[in-house]
Structure 1
Amino acid sequence: MAVKWFDEPEEHDYEAAADYLGMLAEDATVAATVNALKSAKLVYRKAKDILRAARLSLLPPDNPHVRSDVEKIGHGKKLSPILLVRGTPADALQIADGYHRVCASYLTDEDTPIPCRLVSWAPTT
């Protein structure tokens, strides 16, 4: 079964990204980075590469959120694109929103191109 994706992330994805990123950076940096995500063009990356760059393990299929996304895939429903923030070469990529969707896509086909908005941490002025 092919994974289907919306053309744009859902608005609540940006709020979830801000909540997560707020644990890693100051409010002004988070706000600037989320604004950059909102205007970034979609790029496509494979699930296996996203997980490696983020240095994250694959969540198990019985994780409730992963299971829900796998079921959506099985029913032909679309998933929201992933929001990513590039780290430095010494730091990992941050999956600001969409870790469960990446895992569900990986479990379906690790080579499926996933639409992502990918930015670097935005500087504050």
Structure 2
Amino acid sequence: MAVIWLAAPEAHDYDAAADYLSLLADADTVSKTVAGLKAAKPVYRKAKDILRAGSLALLPETNVRVRSDLQKISDGKKLSPILLVRGNGPKAVQLQIADGYHRVCASYLTDENTDIPCHLAPWG
């Protein structure tokens, strides 16, 4: 079954991104970064590349959130696009999945080559 995506991230995704990013940066940087994510135009990246760029492990289908997203995919429900903060290769800073790690994993388990709509922004 193909993964179907919403046209734009849901409002609560930006709040979740800000919560996560607040563990990595100060409030001003987080605010500017989330503003950049909101303004970003969609780009499409493959699940396998997102996980590699973030040096992240694939969560198993037994993970409760991944399982929930796999069920949504099976039911033909749309998933929210992923929010990404660009890494910095020369400085060995990894890509951050600000929101959507479970959705990336569910997409990978469905088809690692699925084009995932992402809002990609630099750190603010």
5 Å-filtered alignment, 1:21-40, equals 21-40=21-40
Structure 1 residue matching 2:48: 3-state secondary structure: helix
Q: Deviations over 1:29-88 (max 9, x none)?
A: 000000010010000000000000000000010000000000000000000000000111
What is the aligned-residue identity percentage? 69
Residue aligning to 2:41: 41
Instruction: Tell me if 1:104 matches 2:116.
Output: no
Give the whole-Å Cα distance in 1 for the aligned partners of 2:93 and 2:59: 21
Instruction: Quote how far apart the aligned CAs of 1:8 are.
Output: 0.3
Q: Quote the RMSD (CA, aligned, Å).
A: 0.4
Aligned length: 122
TM-score (norm 2): 0.98
Structure 1 runs (4+) greater than 2 angstroms displaced: none
Q: What CA distance in whole angstroms lies between the structure 2 residues aligned with 1:8 and 1:87? A: 22
**TM-score, length of structure 1 as denominator length:** 0.97
Counterpart for residue 19 of structure 1: 19
- Aligned-partner SS, 1:48: helix
Between the aligned partners of 1:9 and 1:119, the Cα distance in structure 2 is 14
Q: Structure 1 regions of 5+ residues with no counterpart?
A: none
**Aligned partners of 2:25, 2:18: CA distance in 1, in Å?**
10
Rounded to whole Å, the distance in 1 between the matches of 2:88 and 2:40 is 19
Question: In 2, distance between residues paired with 1:67 and 1:6?
Answer: 19
How many Å separate the matches in 2 of 1:88 and 1:31? 19
